[in-house]
Structure 1
Amino acid sequence: MILSFLWLLLTITAGGIYFYGNTEIVLPVLTFQLAFAVAVLGAAALAQRFKRAALVCLLVAAALAGVLREEQVLEQWRQGVAHWQGKPVLVEGVLAEQAVIEEEPGWVRGRLACYVVGDPGGTLTSCTQSVWLKYPAGDTGVGDVLRVEGKLSSNNAFRDEGQVQRERMLAVQEIAGTLKAKTGMVRVLRHPGAYEWGQWRFSQWREALTTRVAERLSPETAGVLNGMLFGGYAGIAPETAQNFRDTGLVHILSVSGSHVSLLGAMLLWLGSWMNLGKKSKVAFVGAGIVLYACIAGWCAPVARSVCMGLVALGALAWRREKEAVYSLALCAWGLLLFQPLWLWDIGFQLSFFATAGLILLAPQALKCLQTWRVPAVLGAPLAITWGAQMASLPLLAFYFQQFSLVSFLANLLVLPLLESAMIFGLGSLAAGLILEDIILTPVWGLCQGLVYLGSFLASLCAKAPGALAYVPPPGALAGAAYFAALTIFWRRTLPALQQGGLWLVVCALWLGPWLWLPPELEVHMLDVGEGDALVVLTPHRHAWVVDAGGVWRQGDAGSKVVVPHLRRLGVSKLQGIVLTHGHADHMGGAQAVLYSFPCRYLMAPTMEKPGQSALQLALPAGLSVCRIPPGEGVSWEDDGVSFYALRSPGGLVKGENDESLVVWLAYGEKSFLLTGDAKLENSWLPRDLHCDVLKMPHHGSRFAWEAEALAKLAPQIALISVGRNNSFGHPHAETLQELTRNGARIWRTDRDGTVRVFTDGHVLRLATTPGFGVH
């Protein structure tokens, strides 16, 4: 009963945090505070006579407590350094990390732990957040106290459902933005004292230890070993990191429960060798684990792993080793109340679910393998891998749309080698404090061989045919059905009637959406910054892409946003891709989309002008290309949706924006107009053209529409694809005013993230992707 209540309490609290973080709540915080007080008082009043009603009140109070704690953290965030995003700012703080930027010679990048912030020349106030600092190289080092003046830019990220929310992830680490300082704007106030403590000191220790490893091993193996010991990908070749991801071994490159377990086992052995008493040994191991976590950095998975490790040590000391499920729920609940934003951290989510799988599913899997007479030396690793993978599969599908089919083989062959390298590496670093390097040379050589062999086997596994399977992310109902099925496996001793009832529930949840929901047309305007990318999904899941976003130095919107979004939708092939015109912010990601999915049609304007971007695409074989001349159009139908692509006739005279294709589509009574960058003018719009949803041209520019044309179209919904804090002033105030005057409701990617519009042909529905701190 206590265990069930703790899991229910954790679920309700996390649900309150999730709900508040995914909706734009307009109620004042005072309302939640009053509701929380009423729920607590109600639980106290009903506790004696109406225990079930008291329990309901207590659970409501738990959800409200999660909401209030998240709002408190968000308010601290808004009032700290983050308040100065987009403005000139003066900060003072301690340089906690520093690294040379290889792409930009003469510049360095570091993390500044701020303690005061304010307007240059004004009053400074205290704060506790950090910023990424980018500045010219000089006489600075980790631990220096700096005064820096510059402009703070926000942690801009693409807000798309299932995308890694970079802004939120950095907020978990209390990093408020990037501060770029020019020459002369960084001043060293003082260098650190010999006995000064702080987070930067642990960073110094970590840097010293990683340097020691790098001096004794080859660069590639040193990067892998440092990643395994302290987390991170610094010094690891991109191909090696990808091999670890594709084989399900990437968890070993972030400090997690396995690291804490290995360290704990080593320290327990050392404590036994030192003849320590039981409780002294527990205290010794606990202190070692906490010190290791401080050096590795207190991120969410580290905190969860250390918390679980300390609870397990306590259980060992007081002989309560069988309460692992209780410990997991209690740790997760306490950590979320301490830092509710950790709920959004992918590492925390994967760590928690994988640990739950190890505790709940692995023992049952091991019993099945023993029944099938699988040797224990193979059965235990297989059961552990299966339990962790099955529990975290929905998350892997949601975030990465892939599942490693060779993970079982890799965990059997590679993981023991890498874990042995970690043990010898940690032991060598510790022994190096008292022994000469020459004595430890054979041990470092063994580490080199183990890491090299493990990396080599991982690359072989990753290159095996069919190593990766793409898995579309489950919806809410499918996810519930999946975990219900795992529950049946976990409780295999349930009576047959109860198991049959649970299987009926699983089938209803899994098949329900296909049985009772009407087919819908979906139009998704993706958040790709200052650019355009739209996905059209017909009622039976035929996919069309209209533009594919821009390109920049580190990548393009096609590979970063459009392709992952299509994979999350379960798309395996495209009916067609429409490029409205040749500007890079519309077609820069098209090559990645064409490379990732087979496609039947490509539609684009004819290219009369030499050097236009769309001509530079490498088109795959079998692709049917349709070029549309100025002033002409083409119509077609797909899966009950009518399409009409019209090219504006003004491009040859006015410029490349005005030669954009304009795509009109209709399903039932509802219609959409997707405009590229073409200026909306009565002179070329068909007389009978109307739309319920209008994608505004040219990111909401004032010069991309005529008032008469907007009045004629009279859309209910206006969509604007625009980058946050863009330098063009998009969308223009006059555009917003004119749309409002015509009765259109406005949604924008800079404010609402990816916007998804659904229609069954009669009614429009709309969903957005909230960003961090929207309340």
Structure 2
Amino acid sequence: MMYRGLGAVSAFCIGIAAADYLGVSLTEWAAACLAAVLLAAAARKTRWAWPLILLFCLLAGGARLQLAAEQYDGLPHYVGGADIYMEGTLREKGSTYETDGKAMARYVVDMERFAYAGEGTFREGAGAVYVSAPADPSFQPSARVAFRGVLRPIRYYKNGGAYDAQHRDKEKGIFLKGYGDDGGLTLLQPAQGWRHTLANLRETMTDRFRAVLGTDGAHILSSLLFGGHYDELPPELIESFSVTGLIHILSVSGSHIALLLSVVQILGRAAGLRGKWQFFLSAGFVLLYGAMAEFVAPVVRASIMGLICSFSLWARRDYASVQALAAAVLLMLLYSPYLFYDLSFRLSCGASAGIVLLCGKVRPWFSALPALLRDGLSVCLCAQALLLPLLFANFHAFPVYSFAANLLVAPVLDLVIVLGLAAAVLGFLCEPVAHMVLHGLSPLLALAVKGNYFLSALPHSRFWAGAMSLPTVAAWYTALAAVFVWPRQRRILLVLAAVVGLGSWGWGQLHKPEAVVHVFDLGQDKATCVVYDDDSAYLWYNKSSWANPEQAAYTLTPALRYEGVFRLTGCTVVGHEPEKTAAQIEANFTLDKPCRLADDAMPVAAAEGAIPYYLYDGLPQRRLPQGACLELRQLPPYEEKTFPSRAAALIFYRGGGHDERYDEWAEGAALYDIPWFSPARDGQITGTYRKGEWTFTARGGE
């Protein structure tokens, strides 16, 4: 009975995923929901009642996502490509970056109204847009600004392991992007409102921390308390917390809310508060704290569960953590169904589900250990058990010393958070006492940070692996079900898990291809990686002067790691400032030899010999080979006499805008019935060469 809530929420999530894939109209989803309700009402006293309720939850999830999708499609996408004047409120300020020696900042601006250039008639706006503008002057969130320039559609890269930016933007209602030169973004009204007040409050606290802890210490403590602002933290600190698996502590999560509620409950009881007054006090602090943390998804989830727990104490009811988790997830998805695709939401809910579902069964395994070790190990294992496939798919590594970090570093950081919150409050009441607390906190913070650095520097601190295959994921969850869900069928399920997991691995080894070619979707940049049957991997990268300077680090690296490529036998980098791109590749991969650099792309076949795959960085000076897969990074003029009419497949790139050569080559490929692919259209392209034949898959592009 207690698991029916999770069952209903799971069905709701399946409906969301189905609606995103199927594209069925809202009317059809609503009609199906109504039919499910009528069937469930008719079968309310039969064994079919619960399955029909689950069916209704699934259909309701599909209907809710389709409603959100139609609302997003109703935003004024038609202004894309037009020169406009727009007014709006600055929602958030992103990180800064440099391009052509100029510091730029990226903002999210809510579109309130706009007018086409040369017209005086304003139209009502909706949604939000990305605006890139010079970092100086800087604009604060909640300020009203004006933008002059051209808004363009957002280009999403379709690669394995990529962050799901498209669903994130749909969840936030962001649908276009604009670039503002000097004067392109101007201030209409200074920042104001409750968001601005809370931002100033946080900045005031950080300044007080800085007086005792220094700049880095103040930013670290501020992130520990309220999350975010990672661009203010030392990069090596973020890396060390990622290595040890404690990165969640730098973003407000359930542990922060639990600590806050514990402290508030203790203080409330000490003050003689009981019942509803204790609940109102807890709710007030949780809401204020959530607002300070900008109501990110994990905070909202933990806040809802915390408030349910506080209410149960007031109402003197038993607190069912499973049902509280189901209620929190359902409420959040009803409000914003695209949260289902948010990585932080998935990690938060998955870790919470693992703890509430498995911890009681895992804790007896370590009954011989002291309580501190037993509880710490149980929580650490359960929090990651359900998330293992997600961790490898998105982070491509497992933190080997996670248990040690959670046992040694996390308790110190919990104490730092409690003392930091106390110092933050005391700063407004008695600043000298707040400074005393900060002086006591300082060595604890230094101990935790240095201890984490030590653990992250130990050898083999991460187990690297690419994304798990679907059979391996199925085997993993089957094994979990055998251990925790159906113990009576444990032996059968474990054997099944072993057969599926080992069988898929054995099948892969027996049918291992001679080579796999990955052509990645990097916009103006171009990257191709060939992985041979001996696991050696070669990378060819062409850098464009128009692309993000750090495209190799931010887009290519996760895509290669997702495919299980962590070591490169060789790498060739050509194009614009190749030494900078080579440095990014060498920093993220193990190379058998340094990257080969060239300033200009040469018209040579870069990948030929062992497999019939020819990659041309420039215009080939000879007749294109027949019976092979050809990748052309620059298209020569279309000529029927020289067109590779017997090629196994063609891969080529759009030059931007209306590219006549691209259109002519696409028509030529269709004329000769040759499969052709383009990263801009198809996303990441994977070609598998086995026993003399090519097979291709694509992730789907624009």
TM-score, length basis structure 1 = 0.80
Distance 2:576 2:135 in 1: 31
Distance 1:391 1:698 in 2: 42
- Corresponding position of 2:208: 212
Equivalent position amino acid for 1:207 in 2: E
8 Å contact from structure 2 (residues 91, 109) kept in 1: yes
User: Is 1:690 matched with 2:627?
Assistant: yes
SS of residue in 1 equivalent to 2:673: coil
- Corresponding position of 1:503: 494
- Corresponding position of 1:440: 434
- Corresponding position of 1:249: 246
Matches within 5 A, 1:312-391: 312-370=309-367, 373-391=368-386
Distance 1:39 1:549 in 2: 54
Distance 1:99 1:328 in 2: 31
2:680 to 743, 747, 750: 750
8 Å contact from structure 1 (residues 92, 116) kept in 2: yes
2:69 to 64, 67, 74: 74
Distance 2:80 2:293 in 1: 29
Equivalent position amino acid for 1:504 in 2: V
8 Å contact from structure 1 (residues 721, 749) kept in 2: yes
1:273 to 252, 270, 274: 270
The Cα shift of 1:114 comes to: 3.3
8 Å contact from structure 2 (residues 422, 434) kept in 1: no
Deviation digits for residues 393-414 of structure 1 (CA, Å, limit 9, x no counterpart): 3222111111122221222221
Deviation digits for residues 299-323 of structure 1 (CA, Å, limit 9, x no counterpart): 2222222222222223333344441
8 Å contact from structure 1 (residues 532, 585) kept in 2: no
- Corresponding position of 2:4: 5
Matches within 5 A, 1:676-687: 676-679=616-619, 683-686=622-625
Which stretch has the larger CA shift, 542-551 or 387-396? 542-551
The Cα shift of 1:205 comes to: 3.2
SS of residue in 2 equivalent to 1:469: strand
Matches within 5 A, 1:26-425: 28-47=25-44, 51-52=47-48, 55-80=50-75, 84-97=79-92, 101=96, 103=98, 110-120=107-117, 121=119, 122-129=121-128, 131-135=130-134, 137-138=136-137, 141-191=140-190, 197-232=193-228, 233-370=230-367, 373-425=368-420
1:474 to 454, 468, 479: 468
- Corresponding position of 1:708: 641
Deviation digits for residues 693-715 of structure 1 (CA, Å, limit 9, x no counterpart): 543x125x4x3553333352254
Which stretch has the larger CA shift, 140-149 or 419-428? 140-149
8 Å contact from structure 2 (residues 95, 231) kept in 1: no
The Cα shift of 1:573 comes to: 4.6
The Cα shift of 1:754 comes to: 1.1
Equivalent position amino acid for 1:410 in 2: A
8 Å contact from structure 1 (residues 96, 200) kept in 2: no
Matches within 5 A, 1:321-720: 321-370=318-367, 373-435=368-430, 437-491=431-485, 494-495=487-488, 498-515=489-506, 519=511, 521=513, 522-538=516-532, 540=533, 542-550=535-543, 556-571=550-565, 573-574=567-568, 576-577=569-570, 579=572, 582-584=574-576, 589=581, 614=597, 656-661=601-606, 663=608, 673-679=613-619, 683-686=622-625, 689-691=626-628, 693-695=629-631, 697-698=632-633, 701=635, 703=636, 705-710=638-643, 712-713=645-646, 715=648, 717-720=649-652
Q: What RMSD over aligned residues (CA atoms) do the two structures have, in Å?
A: 3.5
The Cα shift of 1:278 comes to: 1.6
SS of residue in 2 equivalent to 1:710: coil
Distance 1:134 1:584, change over 3 A: closer
Deviation digits for residues 2-30 of structure 1 (CA, Å, limit 9, x no counterpart): x3433332223222323444x4x465555
The Cα shift of 1:417 comes to: 1.6
Distance 1:112 1:594, change over 3 A: closer
8 Å contact from structure 1 (residues 529, 722) kept in 2: no
Distance 1:392 1:113, change over 3 A: same
8 Å contact from structure 1 (residues 220, 237) kept in 2: yes
User: Is 1:740 matched with 2:670?
Assistant: yes
Distance 1:139 1:309 in 2: 37
Distance 2:226 2:554 in 1: 27
SS of residue in 1 equivalent to 2:390: helix
SS of residue in 2 equivalent to 1:461: helix
Distance 1:501 1:303, change over 3 A: same
The Cα shift of 1:761 comes to: 4.7
SS of residue in 2 equivalent to 1:545: strand
Matches within 5 A, 1:13-28: 13-21=12-20, 23=21, 25=22, 28=25
Distance 2:607 2:693 in 1: 24
Gaps of 5+ in 2: none
Distance 1:705 1:315, change over 3 A: farther
Deviation digits for residues 437-476 of structure 1 (CA, Å, limit 9, x no counterpart): 2232211112222211211111111111222221332122
SS of residue in 2 equivalent to 1:164: coil
SS of residue in 1 equivalent to 2:645: helix
Distance 1:105 1:530 in 2: 20
- Corresponding position of 1:626: none
The Cα shift of 1:348 comes to: 0.9
The Cα shift of 1:102 comes to: 7.8
Distance 2:354 2:660 in 1: 48
SS of residue in 2 equivalent to 1:113: strand
Distance 1:524 1:713, change over 3 A: same
SS of residue in 2 equivalent to 1:293: helix
8 Å contact from structure 2 (residues 605, 614) kept in 1: no
SS of residue in 1 equivalent to 2:85: strand
Distance 1:561 1:92, change over 3 A: closer
SS of residue in 2 equivalent to 1:659: coil
The Cα shift of 1:533 comes to: 2.0
Gaps of 5+ in 1: 605-612, 617-654, 667-671
Distance 2:26 2:673 in 1: 31
Distance 1:444 1:727, change over 3 A: farther
The Cα shift of 1:363 comes to: 2.7
SS of residue in 1 equivalent to 2:162: coil
Deviation digits for residues 323-380 of structure 1 (CA, Å, limit 9, x no counterpart): 111221232233223212212211111111111122123333322211xx21113222
Distance 1:159 1:321, change over 3 A: farther
8 Å contact from structure 1 (residues 680, 709) kept in 2: no
Distance 1:139 1:572, change over 3 A: closer
Distance 1:37 1:506, change over 3 A: same
Distance 1:763 1:685, change over 3 A: closer
Distance 1:215 1:113 in 2: 36
Distance 1:762 1:17, change over 3 A: farther
Which stretch has the larger CA shift, 198-207 or 324-333? 198-207
Equivalent position amino acid for 1:503 in 2: L
Percent identity of equivalent pairs: 23
TM-score, length basis structure 2 = 0.87
Distance 2:346 2:254 in 1: 13
